[in-house]
Structure 1
C-alpha cells in the first residue's frame, strides 16, 4: 500500500533533530558522540589516527599545482599549518625536490587575526595576474565569502571587491569588472538555494547596484556562467540549469559575425559542451539526431562555433563510444583534443588531431593499466592557439600518484611522485564481475593480499556510490592500504549503475524510478564476494558517503542479511524531506519529487528512514555527519540513528563541527573520521 507523503514532517517524531544548532538537538549530538567515543576510541584507534595524520601531513606529498601566467599555485596543509598556506613558485623551482615557495596567504594566521574558522576555497587570478579573488569558507561550507587580494603586497585590497557569505560563483571579465552569481537574498536565490541571477559588477560601485545580465526562474536549479578571456576568442557563456541534468545554454562572443549578440545554442538539454577557441565541442547524454546525422550518447562531435550560430549543423563525430569504452572528459590543446577515456573502467588517454583527411585518434602510449589517468591544461589561458603543455596525473590502487608534463612532442616529463604509504608486498588487484538480477554484468575491483591463492574468508569492505554519473576509478589507497590491506583484509569497489563508468546510459539505468537498480547491483556484488569465498556476510562491511550513504542505508534496510556492518558517511536517508533540506531541491532529477504522489510511490521504496522497522535483525551501523555540511543536511544522519536506536538496533553516531560536506578543512578532522570508521570495522567484522 502506498503511504501518504510525510514531506511536511507532521508525523516525524524526530523533526526537531533537523534544527542544526537547536539546543535540544546539539545536546543529543553531544551525548551520541560521547557514547560512540566510549565504544570506539582506544589505543588501536589512536594508532590509526596517528598513522593517517602522518600520511596526510607528510612533507613528501605531491604539492598539486595549477599554472596561471608565470607561476604555479598550490594550497598546502601540514601539521604546522592545519588550515593551510596559499603559495606559488615557478616551474623551474617546482622541478626541484624542494621548491622555493612564496607564501601568499596563511589561513591559520588569518583565523587567529580575525577570530573566525576560515577554510580556503580557491582563488581566481585577475587578467593581469596582479590580484586574485580569494574564496573563504566558514569551516568548509559551500557558502563562501569572496575578497580581492593583492598578490604583490600579500594583503586584501582596501575598498576592493568583497562579496558577503553566500553560495557564489564569480569571475573576472577584466581588471575592473566581475561577473557575479551570488545567492545573497531570496530574490537572488532559487528554491534549491543557488543563485538565479548573474550580475556585472564594476569596481567602485556597490554590489547592490550591479546590473543583472542573466536571470533564471525561481524553480530552476541555478544560473551558471563562464568567462572566456582567451585573446581572439573572448566571450561569455550562460547556463540556465533547469535541473541537475538539463540546461539551456547561451553564448555571447566578442568577435565574429555574431559579436555582441546573446544566442541560445540549439542543442539538447542534456549535453556537455566546450568552446575554448573557434570550435564548439558537444557530448550529448542521449542519442541526438540532427539532419541526417545521429550523434551517439556519450560521443563527441565538433563544429565551427560561428558556423553553428549561423545555422550550420555539419558536425564531425570525432569519438564514438563502445559498450566498454566511455568518454569521461576532454581538453583542447594546441596539439589537438586530449580525450580522457575509460576502457572497462581502466584509464586511457588519446589525442584527436584534425587534418585534411579528417580527424584521427591516436592512443597515447606508455601509460599503466588498472589506473586512473587524467589530463588538464597547464596554463595557456592567454594563448590564442590554446595551451601547449598538458599535465597528466596517474594513480592506481597500489601505485602512488605521479604527475608528468607533456608538450605534445616529446615523452612526458615526470614532475612529482607521491610517497609509498603502505607495503604493497603480495597485494593483488583483480577486476571481477557480478551478475545483476536482470543479467547485466557489474564489474568491481577487488584488492587484497594473495587473492590468487586459496585463503579463508577475510574481512572485506565493499565501497560504492552509484549516482550522478560519477565514475569510481582506481586511485592510490594510501589510508585503506595502511589501515586495512596491510593486515591481510580485502577491499572491493563496485562500478554499479548510476555512475558514469560506461557513459550516460550507465547513469540513466539508475535514476528516479529506477534508482533502486544501483542498490540491487551493489547487493549482487556483495553476494558475489561471499559466493566466491572472498568473505562471508558476517565479515563483509559496506561503506559509502553522500549518495553513497543512501546506497549503504538501503543495504541496511533492504539487504541486512548480506552484511556484518555498515559505515555510512554524510548520507541522504530521508527521501520524503530531502527536497526541504539545504541543496536537496537540486537533486530531483536524480531521485524524484516526493510531493508528486506517483514519484513518492517509488521514492518510499528506497528511503531508509521510512523502511526501517521493528523486528529486523539489522547489522551494526556507524553513521557520521558534519554540522557545517550545507549540502546534505545533518538531519538525515541524526534522525536515522534516533529511529534505529528507538527500534533497539546497534546504531552509532558521530558528528563533527567543522568540515562541510567533504570533511576536509584540516587533516586532523580527516584522520579522526578515518580512524573512527576503521575502529568500528575492527569491532564488528574484523574482531
Structure 2
C-alpha cells in the first residue's frame, strides 16, 4: 500500500507539476508502524508514534529530520524571490530597537538592539550616571546567538541582579547573580527552573524561587513538569543548601509563582494547576522566621492576581462575580478570623474597589499610589487611572488605535513608562507623569517605511452560529477589491490571550510586497473577558475553528482575495488552529503555515508543559472530552486521498513547550495522505525552541522562507524594494 502510494506520487509529480517543476522528484515517505491505542472502546491508529522520540536520543528521528529539512530546502532554493525577500527583511529589520524602560533599586533599565544584533542588550543608568552602560550583553555568550537572556529580578537595595540564561530556546533556565555596581558575576548557579521568576527579600540577602526536580537523563525536553517546590536561596550559598519553603507532594500538579510585597512584609504564593487564571493564594509573614504559609484563597474557582497591599489589606484583580474583571480588597486579619471559624472552604469576605466595567480588564498595577487599569475595547488598548478609593481619575490618551505595554513601578514612584504601537505605527516610548497625566515621547523607532502608504481598519463579521467577531485588516492604500490580492489570515484563539494591533517588521514586509494582512480575534482569546474565553475551550473548541473559517469566507466574499490567494498562519495554539481548519476545509485555503502546533490532541498532556493545557483543551482521559478532541485533532483527521493545500509546517528540535513530535507526526501523515501535487513541507529549526530567545538571524531566515513559500504557492508577483537589487 505504501509503496503503491509512493509510485503514484512519483508518477503524478513527473507528469503534471503545478509548481513549475520545483517539487523535488522524491517526496519523503515516513515509515509507519501498526500502533493502536484504545480510548473508551475506540481504537485509534498512531502509525507515526516513533516520531515522538527526542531527536537527540533517536538516530531514526535524527535521520528523518535531516531528510525532511533537505527536501524543504531543495524546494525553497528554487524560488528566485527568496534571496531578495531576505535582503529586504534584513534592511527593514536594521533599525535601533528599544524596550520599555523600567526602574528597579534606584536605577533605570532598558533593553536595546542596535539593529541586527541576535539578542537585545540590557542597559542600566544610575541617578548620577551621565550615560547608560551595558550591564548584560547576551551576544557575547554564543557565536550563533542561540543563548539568550531569559528573565531578570532586581534586589530592592540595588545590589544584585538575578538573571536567567536560556539555551537553544528551551524553557529551562539557569539562573545566575550579578553585582550590579561592579558587574561581577557571582558563583551562584541555580538549575531546573522554568515558568518562574525569583522574588528578592527586602534585605537583598536572597530570594524565593520555584524549581522542579531534576529530570531523568535524556528526558530533559520531554518529561512532564510536575512536583515544583518553592525554595529560598541565600546569596553565596550552593543550590544544594537552599531552604525548602513550600511544597505539596500530595499535589504534584500544583505550580507556583512568588512575589514579595513592596513593604517587604509578606511573601505571596500564587498556586495554579493549568493555564486558566484560577488561583489559590497563600501568604507568609516574613517578619516571623518561623511563620508558616497561610491559606487565603482555598479553591481554584476564580482568578486572584495580586496587585499590591496596604499593610494587611491585599488588593487583587479577580473575575469573582465579574467575568470582565474587577479590583477587590481583602483584609488578611479578617480573613484569618473567618477561616478559623469556618468550615473546610470558608468564603473570604471581599471589598470591591473598582467594579466591573464595560470592557475586559487585562492588568492592574499600583504606581504612585494609584491603580493603573489596562483593559481592551474591541481588542484595542484602553488605560484608566484610579485612586485607591476606586474612583476614576483620568484616562491615558493614545495617538492611534493600537496596543500599549508597560506602566510598571512602585507606589513611591511618580512616573512610569509605556510603549505604544500599531500595525502601521512604529514602536514609540513615552514617559508618563502619574501626577499630571502628561505623556512625554522619549523616542520612536525609525523604520524605513511611510505609514501614510498603508491603512488599517477593523471590521466585524458573523461566525457560523451568528457570533459577532472582530478582525483587523491592514494593507497598502488604494487596494482594489477584485479578489486577486494575496492575503495572510492570522489567528490564535485560546488561553485567554488577546491579539491586539502591534507593529511587526515581518507583517510590514508582507504588506510592502502587496499582501493583505488580517488578524481575527477569535473566541477562546481574551478580547472580551472570561465568557469569550470559555466559549472557545474544551467541548466548545470547535467555535474557534468556525470563527477562523468564517473570517476566511468573509475575506473571499468581500473580494479581498480568493481561495488560491488566501494563506492562513498561526503558532502554538494557533498552529493547532491552522491544522484543524485545513483538515476540516482543505478546499478553502491556498496555503497553510502551521508553526510549533499542538497537533495530537490525544497525547499532548503527556509531555513537558502539556498537562497545563487541559484547562483549555480538556483531556483524552475524560470520555466526553476524548470524543470532542478526537473529532478535531489535526493529526487524527488527516484523510488519505485528499488534496490538501500547500503547507509548510514549522517547528524546532529543542522546543520543550510543544514538543516537535506533534509537528513531525502531522507532517509525515500529511505527506502520506496527499492526493495532489501541492507541496507538503516541514521546516525544522536547529538549536531553537518554541520561539522565545530565537536570534535575529534565525528569525529573518524563517520569515524569508515563509514569504518565499507563499509567493510561490499563492502564485503572485511580489513588489520588492530591496536596495541591494537597485
Alignment TM-score, normalising by the size of structure 1: 0.88
In the alignment, is the contact (CA less than 8 A) between 2:226 and 2:252 conserved in 1? no
| Superposed displacement of residue 637, structure 1 | 0.8
Assess if the C-alpha contact under 8 Å between 1:331 and 1:375 holds in 2: no
Q: CA deviation at 1:419?
A: 1.8
Counterpart Cα distance in 2 of 1:388 and 1:394: 20
Q: Is the 8 A contact 1:85 1:106 kept in 2?
A: yes
Per-residue CA deviation, residues 542-581 of structure 1 (Å, 9 max, x unaligned), is 0000000000001110121221110111111011121122
- Aligned position for 1:47: 84
Equivalent position SS for 1:88: strand
Which residues in structure 2 correspond to 1:281-360 (within 5 Å)?
281-285=315-319, 287-288=320-321, 295-311=322-338, 313-322=349-358, 325-354=359-388, 359-360=390-391
Q: d(CA) in 1 for partners of 2:417 and 2:681?
A: 43
Q: What are the equivalent positions in structure 2 for 1:266-665 lying under 5 Å apart?
A: 269-278=301-310, 279-285=313-319, 287-288=320-321, 295-311=322-338, 313-322=349-358, 325-354=359-388, 359-378=390-409, 380=410, 385-410=411-436, 411-450=438-477, 454-481=481-508, 483-648=509-674, 650-662=679-691, 664-665=693-694
| Compared CA separation, residues 248 and 620, structure 1 to 2 (3 A) | same
What is the rounded CA distance, in whole Å, between the counterparts of 1:220 and 1:462 in structure 2?
A: 40
1:446-502 Cα distance to aligned partner (Å, 9 max, x none): 111246865443111100000000000000132211x22123321110001000000
- Mapped partners of 1:177, 1:72: distance in 2: 22
Q: Secondary structure of 1:161's partner?
A: strand
State the shift of 1:103 in Å.
Answer: 2.1
Match of residue 291 from structure 1 = none
CA distance in 2, matches of 1:7, 1:367: 57
Alignment partners' CA distance in 2, 1:210 and 1:549: 40
Aligned 8 A contact 2:210 2:230 in 1: yes
Shift of 1:240: 2.7
Q: Which residue of 2 aligns with 1:226?
A: 258
2:248 corresponds in structure 1 to 216
Whole-Å separation in 2 of the counterparts to 1:487 and 1:46: 14
Distance 1:68 1:638, change over 3 A: same
- Aligned to 1:400, the other structure's residue is in SS state strand
> Take 1:440 and 1:27, find their aligned partners in 2: how far apart are those partners?
47
The residue aligned with 1:126 is 155
Q: How many Å separate the matches in 1 of 2:145 and 2:383?
A: 44
Assess if the C-alpha contact under 8 Å between 2:274 and 2:613 holds in 1. Answer: yes
In the aligned structure 1, how far is the partner of 2:108 from the partner of 2:86?
32
Task: Note the C-alpha offset of 1:74.
Answer: 3.3
3-state secondary structure, aligned to 1:4: strand
Structure 1, 566-575 or 116-125: larger mean CA deviation:
116-125
- Cα distance change on mapping 1:61 and 1:673 into 2, 3 Å: same
Distance in 1, matches of 2:500 and 2:459, equals 14
Secondary structure at the aligned position of 1:320 is classed as: coil
Deviation at 1:25, TM superposition (A): 1.2
Partners of 1:284 and 1:508 in 2: how far apart? 16
**What CA distance in whole angstroms lies between the structure 2 residues aligned with 1:162 and 1:296?**
42
Match of 1:26 in 2: 62
3-state SS, counterpart of residue 201 of structure 1? strand
Tell me, yes or no, if structure 1 residue 200 matches structure 2 residue 229.
no
Contact residue 146 and residue 694 of structure 2 kept, 8 A: no
Whether the 8 Å contact between 1:180 and 1:199 is mirrored in structure 2 is yes
Does the C-alpha gap of structure 1 residues 573 and 204 become closer, same or farther in structure 2, counting only changes over 3 Å?
A: same
Instruction: Assess, with a 3 A threshold, how the Cα gap between structure 1 residues 7 and 225 changes in structure 2: closer, same or farther.
Output: farther
Moved more, 103-112 or 561-570: 103-112
1:273 and 1:83 map into 2 onto residues whose CA distance is: 31
Is it true that 1:140 corresponds to 2:169 in the alignment? yes
Q: Deviations over 1:230-260 (max 9, x none)?
A: 23x521111232332233211123479x987
Counterpart-to-counterpart distance in 2, 1:268 and 1:566: 38
Partners of 1:412 and 1:389 lie apart in 2 by 10
Per the TM alignment, residue 126 of structure 1 is displaced from its structure 2 partner at its CA by 2.7
Distance in 1 between residues matched to 2:126 and 2:614, nearest whole Å? 45
Q: Deviations over 1:419-446 (max 9, x none)?
A: 2343334422111112112211011111
Q: Are 1:224 and 1:239, in contact at CA under 8 Å, matched by a contact in 2?
A: yes
Counterpart contact for 1:146–1:164, Cα < 8 Å: yes
* Cα separation, partners in 2 of 1:165 and 1:458, compared to 1, 3 Å: same
**How far has the Cα of 1:508 moved from its partner?**
0.6
Shift of 1:30: 1.7
Preserved CA contact (<8 Å) 1:461 1:542 = yes
Q: Give 1:367 deviation, angstroms.
A: 1.6
Structure 1 residue 418: deviation in Å?
1.3
Q: 1:39 to 1:663 in 2, by over 3 A?
A: farther
Once residues 671 and 391 of structure 1 are traced to their aligned partners in structure 2, the CA distance between those partners, rounded to angstroms, is 29
Contact 1:220 1:242 in 2 (8 A): no
Q: Which deviates the most, 423-432 or 468-477?
A: 423-432
Question: Alpha carbon RMSD of aligned pairs, Å?
Answer: 3.0
> In 2 relative to 1, CA 210–314 (structure 1 residues): closer, same or farther, beyond 3 Å?
closer
Tell me, what secondary structure is at the counterpart of 1:337?
strand
Instruction: Say if 1:129 and 1:663 are closer, same or farther in 2 by CA, change over 3 A.
Output: closer
Match of 2:98 in 1: 62
Please state how far the C-alpha of 1:646 moved relative to its aligned partner: 1.0
1:292 corresponds to: none
Where does residue 155 of structure 1 map in the other structure? 184
Aligned equivalent of 2:133: 102
Asked if the contact 1:252–1:263 (Cα under 8 Å) also holds between the matched residues in 2, the reply is no
Structure 1 residue 589: Cα displacement: 1.1
**What CA distance in whole angstroms lies between the structure 2 residues aligned with 1:360 and 1:452?**
46
| CA spacing shift, 1:138–1:222, aligned 2, 3 Å | farther
Q: Is the 8 A contact 2:192 2:214 kept in 1?
A: no
Among 67, 71, 82, the alignment partner of 2:107 is 71
C-alpha offsets along residues 127-154 of structure 1, whole Å, 9 cap, x if unaligned? 3222222211111211011122223332
- Mapped to 2, the partners of 1:92 and 1:7 lie a distance apart of 72
Kept in 2, the 8 Å contact 1:544–1:567? The answer is yes
Q: Which runs of 5+ in 2 are unaligned?
A: 1-35, 339-347, 717-726
CA contact (8 A) 1:582 1:630 kept: yes
Distance 1:450 1:79, change over 3 A: closer
